[in-house]
C-alpha cells in the first residue's frame, strides 16, 4: 500500500537540474513495478508477504485511477512518436562534423536497424557487433534485453548517408584500432576536447541523445529512446512487409531496399488464435519473443499440438 502511494507521487522520469519536472508516473507503470517488487520479494528474498497484500495494493491503485479520470489528469509520457526515414534525413543533415556527429549517426541508425530499446543499445559491447563473414553487413548480438537475447542481421542500406553499416565502421574507427572488445560500443565524448571517453552511455542518455539531435533538426516530433523501434515498424508496414507486426529487429533491410540476411531458426508467425482453438507448430523451431506462442516460450523436439487457453497461455491438448 505504501509503495503504491509513494509511486503515485513520483515523476515518470527523474527531473534534470534546472529543468521543470515532467508528468507523474502512469498507473500502468506503477502496476508493473508492483508486480516486480512482489515477485522479487517472494522468489529472490524469500519474504513471506501477507496474504492478499497485492490485491489490496491494486485496489488502492484502481481507486486512484478513478479519481484521476474524474479530474481529467494525464500521467506518463505517453507513446513515443515514430522516428521515420524522413526524420532521420533531416537529422543526418544537421549533425556536426566531429566525433559527436559520427557517434550520434551510428547510434541512431543502429537503433533503427535492430529495432532496439534504450538499454539494448546502452549495453552493446564492441565484440557484439561483428562483420558478416560473407560481407553482407553486420551481425549484432543483442545479449541484454528485457525480453530475450537475439541476433540481428544488419545489411547495407540503400542510402549511404543513413547506412548503419557504414556509420558503425566510421564510429569504430574513432574508437581506435586497439579498442578493447569488451568496451562499450557507444561511449561518451568529451565536450571540449572531443575525445572518446571510456564510459558507455546509459539508457537514459541514449534517449536524451535522440531527443537532442531531433530538436537540433527542428523535427515536428520529439523523439525518445523508443522512437526508432516504433519508426522501423511503421516504415516496414508502409512498404508492405509481412513481418511488420513480428520480428521488428529483422525488418530494417526491407526498408533499405535490400534482401535480408538469412533469418535462421524462427517461430511460426500468424494471427493469435482464439480461445479454445487447436494450433500446431513444429517445435524444432524456436519461437522468438514477438511471435506466438507467447513470448519467452521455447519448444524443442518434434511437433506438438496445443490448445490456446486464453490470456496468452497455451497448453498441450490431451485429446489430440
User: Terminal CA-to-CA distance of the chain, rounded, Å?
Assistant: 46
The residue among 102, 105, 81, 112 whose CA lies nearest residue 91 is 105
What is the tens place of the pLDDT at every residue in 26-77?
898 899 899 999 999 999 999 888 888 899 999 999 999 999 999 988 887 7
What is the tens place of the pLDDT at every residue in 106-124?
999 999 999 999 999 999 9
- Taking the CA atoms of 158, 222, 153 and 169 in sequence, report the sign of the dihedral they define: positive
What is the tens place of the pLDDT at every residue in 285-308?
333 333 334 433 333 333 344 444
Question: Please, how many CA atoms are within 13 Å of residue 97, restricted to the half-sphere of its CB?
Answer: 0
DSSP state of 199: E
CATH topology of domain 85-256: hpI Integrase; Chain A (1.10.443)
Please give the model's pTM, rounded to 2 decimal places: 0.68
CA distances from 211 to 13, 91, 152, 219, 259 (A): 14, 11, 25, 10, 31
What is the tens place of the pLDDT at every residue in 216-250?
999 999 999 999 999 999 998 888 775 554 444 44
ω into 294 cis (within 30 of 0): no
**Residue 92: what pLDDT?**
97
Mean pLDDT of 196-206: 95
**Residue 267: what pLDDT?**
33
DSSP state of 128: G
**Where are the chain's structural domains?**
2-71, 85-256, 265-320
What is the tens place of the pLDDT at every residue in 80-107?
999 999 999 999 999 999 999 999 999 9
Amino acid at each position: 500500500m505504501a509503495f503504491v502511494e509513494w509511486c503515485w507521487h513520483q515523476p515518470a522520469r527523474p527531473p534534470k537540474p534546472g529543468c521543470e519536472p515532467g508528468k507523474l508516473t502512469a498507473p500502468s507503470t506503477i502496476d508493473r513495478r508492483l508486480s516486480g517488487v512482489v515477485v522479487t520479494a517472494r522468489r529472490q528474498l524469500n519474504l513471506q508477504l501477507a496474504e492478499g497484500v497485492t490485491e489490496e495494493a491494486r485496489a488502492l491503485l484502481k481507486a486512484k485511477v478513478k479519481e484521476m479520470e474524474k479530474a481529467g489528469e494525464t500521467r506518463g509520457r505517453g507513446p513515443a512518436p515514430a522516428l521515420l526515414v524522413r526524420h532521420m534525413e533531416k537529422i543526418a543533415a544537421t549533425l556536426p562534423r566531429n566525433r559527436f556527429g559520427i557517434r550520434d549517426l551510428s547510434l541512431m541508425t543502429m537503433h533503427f536497424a535492430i529495432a532496439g530499446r534504450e538499454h539494448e543499445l546502452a549495453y552493446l559491447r564492441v565484440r557484439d557487433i561483428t562483420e558478416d563473414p560473407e560481407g553482407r553487413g553486420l551481425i549484432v548480438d543483442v545479449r541484454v534485453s528485457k525480453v530475450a537475447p537475439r541476433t540481428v542481421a544488419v545489411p547495407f542500406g540503400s542510402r549511404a548517408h543513413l547506412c548503419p553499416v557504414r556509420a558503425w565502421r566510421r564510429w569504430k574507427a574513432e574508437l581506435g584500432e586497439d579498442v578493447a572488445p569488451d568496451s562499450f560500443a557507444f561511449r561518451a565524448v568529451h565536450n571540449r576536447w572531443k575525445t572518446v571517453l571510456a564510459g558507455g552511455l546509459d539508457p537514459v542518455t541514449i534517449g536524451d541523445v535522440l531527443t537532442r539531435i531531433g530538436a537540433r533538426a527542428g523535427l515536428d516530433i520529439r523523439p525518445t529512446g523508443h522512437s526508432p523501434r516504433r519508426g522501423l515498424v511503421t516504415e516496414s508496414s508502409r512498404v508492405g512487409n509481412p513481418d511488420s507486426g513480428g520480428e521488428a529487429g529483422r525488418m530494417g533491410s526491407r526498408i533499405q531496399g535490400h534482401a535480408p540476411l538469412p533469418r535462421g531458426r524462427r517461430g511460426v508467425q500468424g494471427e493469435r488464435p482464439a480461445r479454445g482453438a487447436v494450433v500446431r507448430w513444429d517445435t524444432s523451431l524456436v519461437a522468438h519473443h514477438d511471435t506466438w506462442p507467447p513470448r519467452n516460450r521455447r519448444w524443442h523436439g518434434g511437433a506438438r499440438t496445443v490448445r490456446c487457453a486464453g490470456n496468452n497461455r497455451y497448453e498441450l491438448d490431451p485429446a489430440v
